[in-house]
Amino acid sequence: MLWHRIISAFIGIPLFLAAVWYGGLPLLVLTAALMLLGIWEISRIFARIDLKVPCLLAMSSCLFLLVLAYHYQEGYSGVAVVAIIIAVFLAMVMQYPRFTPIDAAVTLLSIFYVGLIIYLFLISTYDNGFIWLLILLVCTWASDTFAYLIGRKWGKHPLAPALSPGKTLEGSVGGILGGIITAFAVTVFTRDLPFLPVLLIGFIIGITAQAGDLVESAIKRQAGIKDSGNLIPGHGGILDRFDSMLFTAPFVFYYVGKVILN
């Protein structure tokens, strides 16, 4: 298992960082691939509890979100949200009772949850987009790592036992510290970044990363599974690897755009 994790990381991380470095089309294609794989995984998760998420409809909706994000360089546009809601409800009307209102609600949840991956690409459209993406990645990874290590070593008080029995308050504090410490390290090596705003990014990433992790834990707990998939040997599925980033990426996009660059 350990060797599977090491080999997967050795291959996957350089490919991912290369797409982040080049930005543009490579990152756009990577984002699209992550969205499609994420929809495939979440549809299989909900299928375990007899809820239908039509893959073709959900995947095309996610790609629609990405196309409009690429065109307008903004998050969920009103046009996209309204069009997707109408499309899903029309599918419900045409396919009822095979596709029920509950299925439609879960489909919308899946689309707008997995669709948050678009913010990975959107961050790259900023000036110095690579730097902001790098801050997002290293702070999110550090938060996850610190939370795990500190929770394993000193964790005693459960954080959310009904969702994830292994997570502790001590680990949560460790995750926040990991985000802050990593953000501080970034400012040391990149001196032209604003010090306090970047530290605040690290602090809030430490919180939002754990929120993203717990949200995915709730979905998996409802379906009675441990991993969202087995696409990445030793690591689980795409959603298992990007659950934290689904919440940290939107925050970084809006905070950088509305507060720092504005």
pLDDT in tens, the chain (262 residues): 444 455 555 556 777 777 877 778 899 999 999 999 999 999 999 999 999 999 999 999 999 999 999 999 888 889 999 999 999 999 999 999 999 999 999 999 999 999 999 999 999 999 889 999 999 999 999 998 899 889 988 988 888 888 888 889 999 999 999 999 999 999 998 878 899 999 999 999 999 999 999 999 999 999 999 888 776 655 578 898 889 999 999 999 999 999 998 7
Residue-level pLDDT at 10: 56
Query: Which secondary structure element, helix H or strand E, spans residue 18, and what is its range?
Result: helix 2-22
CB 220 within 8 A of CB 154: no
Evaluated on CA atoms 85, 90, 95, 98, the torsion sign reads positive
Residue-level pLDDT at 226: 85
Nearest one of 33, 241, 187, 177 to 118, comparing CA atoms: 33
Residue-level pLDDT at 219: 94
CB 145 within 8 A of CB 178: yes
Residue-level pLDDT at 255: 95
Helices 55-72 and 78-95: crossing angle in degrees, nearest 10, is: 170
CB 113 within 8 A of CB 246: yes
Residue 90, token pair as written in the block: 């029309």
pTM above 0.85, yes or no: yes
Nearest one of 132, 143, 123 to 211, comparing CA atoms: 143
Residue-level pLDDT at 4: 47
CB 123 within 8 A of CB 139: no
Report how far residue 207's alpha carbon sits from residue 36's, in angstroms, rounded to the nearest whole number: 27
Nearest one of 185, 186, 154 to 168, comparing CA atoms: 154
